Amino acid sequence: MLKKAIIIRTSPDLKRCIAIDSDNYEEILTFLNSDARHRNKFKDITNVLLAGLRNTQLYDKEEPDAKSKGVRAMKFFKGQENARIYCRELIKENKTFIIIASELLKRKKTQKIDKKILTIIHKVASYDYKEIIDPNSD
Q: DSSP letters of 76-132?
A: E-TTTT-EEEEEEEEE-TT--EEEEEEEEES----SS--HHHHHHHHHHHH-EEEEE
pLDDT digits (tens, 9 = 90+) for 9-34: 999 999 999 999 999 999 999 999 99
For 34-50, how does the pLDDT look when each residue is reduced to its tens digit (9 = 90+)?
A: 989 999 999 999 999 99
Tell whether pTM > 0.75: yes
Angle at 108 between CA 72 and CA 112, to 5 degrees: 75
Per-residue pLDDT for 137 more than 80? no
Residue-level pLDDT at 108 = 84
pLDDT digits (tens, 9 = 90+) for 108-128: 887 788 899 999 999 999 999
Q: At what angle do helices 25-33 and 36-50 cross, to 10 degrees?
A: 110
pLDDT value of position 114: 86
What is the pLDDT at residue 138? 58
